[in-house]
Amino acid sequence: MSADVAPAASAAALSRPASTAGAASTAGATSTAVAPAVPALPELGVTRSVTHGTVVARPASTVPWVLPLWHVRKGATSADALCSSSAISPTEIVTAAHCVPDAKGLYYVEIGANALRKGTLVPVEAIRFHSGYRDRTAVNDVAVLRPLVPLSLRAYARLASPSLAAKARAGRVAGLRIYGWGDNEKGKLTGQLRTTTLRQVNALADRTFRYFSPKTQLAAARSLGRGRFAGGCNGDSGGPLTTKVGKAVFVVGVSSYGAAKGCDLAPTVFTSVGAYSAWTKAARTSLPKLARTQNRALPYNTAAPAASGTVALGQPITCGAGSWTANTSSVVPEWYVGSSKLEGGPVHVLTEADAGRTLTCKVTATSRAGTATAAADVAVPPAPDVLASRPTITGIPDGGLLPAPDTVAACSVPTTDVPGVVTSYQWLSVPELNAVNDLRPLGTSPSLVLTVDVLKATAGRWLVCRATSANAMGSVTRDDYEYFPNITNPRLSVNTGLADPATGRLGCNAVIFEQGVTLSYRWVAVTGFVPATIPANAQVLSNTDTYTPTDRSKIYVCEATATSWQGSSVKLGSFRFS
């Protein structure tokens, strides 16, 4: 907004449209619309400014009280103007009246910023600007603001007293310094806080600006020669002109206006805040009441929404509203998937359709200024993968034979990326695949020792490993299987003959065809014919596989017995001396 002009130079307020301003994050842990988006800042290689000043290193630590001030029109989603301001207490901020003209719009200060868009936006809930401010003359260009939540800054500035302000206007205060977040001398917004030292030049301002008032305003600049000056520029409006008394920093002026074209073509005019000491005192006192009766801030999320309950199929989860500032009149918690709202209300019962989705607990808060939202996401794990849940039995030898006793069979499923999956196992002996009857349970571990009892229970049937993979959102059961043949007695053949002709030693040569078989022998002597089985009352001559007879007139019979866990087989062999 423009002040009136003098013949020597035109004057313009130092606020700045935010078309190239930097974006800042909203306060509140997961707040998504508590504060507006601010347009992105272009990358510029400018490092000198305010104009012809220097960049302040780490302003969030060194001068944390010099704050960007953003304006958002009613109904808009991004800022359209930028000023500067000074925090003088956790609940009070001073700036220029022309920076806060919009009675229906929203204002935010940005704290903790080492560059524009790098800090946190805090809504302004109450504004008191001087009722005598006039845009045409820029007289009484001062305002005080109250943030919606108290600021927690490392330091705050102080307002100059009437006597300190008078000395500054009279040119008797050295070390005047300007701070501002606005444009540099090239008219570019770099996003950095800049500063430079100035001196009082009221006489020059009196010749330059028609409505300059040395009683309530202070002009300051640093001459660069050839009619150019270091000082304020667009975006510096409302920012401080300071001096130090001991270690304390005092705001002696608030940036008000300067040259309309070319910021360094005229000195900068500041409102002398110490000249308004009575007004600022009353205005600061009025802010709490204004905040109660005419609060102009959107609701502000001070503790993020949070979901409670068990994330599991069929279980309810509740969207908790979190905490909001006292200007909030209502909160509505609801569940969303993306932009689609689920059933109304704060409670949602998880269904199979929710598996693998991100649900959003979205809270809409309302104040007299409008609505704001904050959200918290809940990641629902997917259900177990059907293909990745199929088990595999290992440890069973190939060849279609029954395994040896105490063989260990193992069952496993592939690894999965699905979170929270736990697999349980069940070993069964079944008469046929997909059988529902005669299911014989064998074990519930990932491995199974094939004892004789297990082998007998499974012979002529199917050994099944049934794996159930489950997490909070569902389960999958899959089988793997191996066929076990029926139990059979060991196969055995016997050949009896003369093992040593010189001594007459006979040998019983038994041949077996399976592993795990033991052999035993009995020799007996018979006369006449060879029996089918050895008589129970027969005299056993030897229990080894050889025997040396002394009487060669008899028939010698060798009985070989093959024994395994499956059973036993008996074969006879005989020999007659000729």
22-42 in b/e form (b: 16+ CB < 10 A) is bbbbbbbebbbbbbbbbeebe
Closest CA to 51 of 148, 196, 244: 196
d(CA 382, CA 64): 46
The confidence score (pLDDT) of residue 187 equals 64
Tens digits of pLDDT across the chain (578 residues): 223 222 223 345 544 444 333 333 222 223 333 344 443 333 222 222 356 778 999 999 999 999 999 999 988 888 888 899 999 999 999 999 999 999 999 999 999 999 998 999 999 999 999 999 999 999 999 999 999 999 999 999 999 999 999 999 999 998 999 999 876 666 677 888 999 999 999 999 999 999 999 999 999 999 888 888 888 887 789 999 999 999 999 999 999 998 877 778 889 999 999 999 999 999 999 999 999 999 999 999 999 999 999 999 999 999 999 999 999 999 999 999 999 999 889 999 999 999 999 999 999 999 999 999 999 999 999 999 888 889 999 999 887 778 889 999 999 999 998 999 999 999 999 999 999 999 999 999 999 999 999 999 999 999 999 999 999 999 999 999 999 999 999 999 999 999 999 999 999 999 998 888 999 999 999 988 899 999 889 999 999 999 999 999 999 999 999 999 999 999 999 999 87
Residues in CB range of 159: below 8 A, 6 or more apart: 88, 94, 250, 251, 273, 274, 277, 280
d(CA 310, CA 318): 9
Dig out the tokens for 467 from the structure.
């794996």
DSSP string covering 526-557: ESSS--SS--TTPPP-BSSSEE--S-TTSEEE
The confidence score (pLDDT) of residue 402 equals 85
Residues in CB range of 154: below 8 A, 6 or more apart: 61, 64
The confidence score (pLDDT) of residue 35 equals 42
Q: Parallel, antiparallel, or unpaired for β 301-303 and 66-72?
A: unpaired
Tokens 């500032």: give the residue.
Answer: 325
The confidence score (pLDDT) of residue 472 equals 94
441-461 in b/e form (b: 16+ CB < 10 A) is ebbeebebebeeebbbbbeeb
The confidence score (pLDDT) of residue 183 equals 65
Closest CA to 191 of 21, 16, 15, 18: 21
d(CA 73, CA 106): 6
The confidence score (pLDDT) of residue 184 equals 65
Closest CA to 181 of 34, 61, 81, 43: 81
The confidence score (pLDDT) of residue 51 equals 61
446 conformational bin, left if phi > 0, alpha if psi -120 to 50, beta if neither: alpha
Tokens 């220097």: give the residue.
Answer: 54
What is the torsion angle, in degrees rounded to the nearest 10, for the CA atoms of residue 165, residue 166, residue 167 and residue 168?
50
The confidence score (pLDDT) of residue 230 equals 83
Sign of the torsion angle spanned by Cα atoms 434, 440, 442, 448: negative
Encoded amino acid at 498, one letter: L
Closest CA to 138 of 239, 210, 66: 210
Residues in CB range of 351: below 8 A, 6 or more apart: 313, 314
Closest CA to 125 of 152, 149, 156: 149
How many of the other CB atoms lie within 10 Å of CB of 539?
Answer: 8
d(CA 194, CA 230): 11
Residue pair 362/336 in contact by the 8 Å Cβ criterion: yes
Helices first, then strands: H and E counts in the chain: 5, 41
The confidence score (pLDDT) of residue 10 equals 34
Dig out the tokens for 465 from the structure.
């490993």
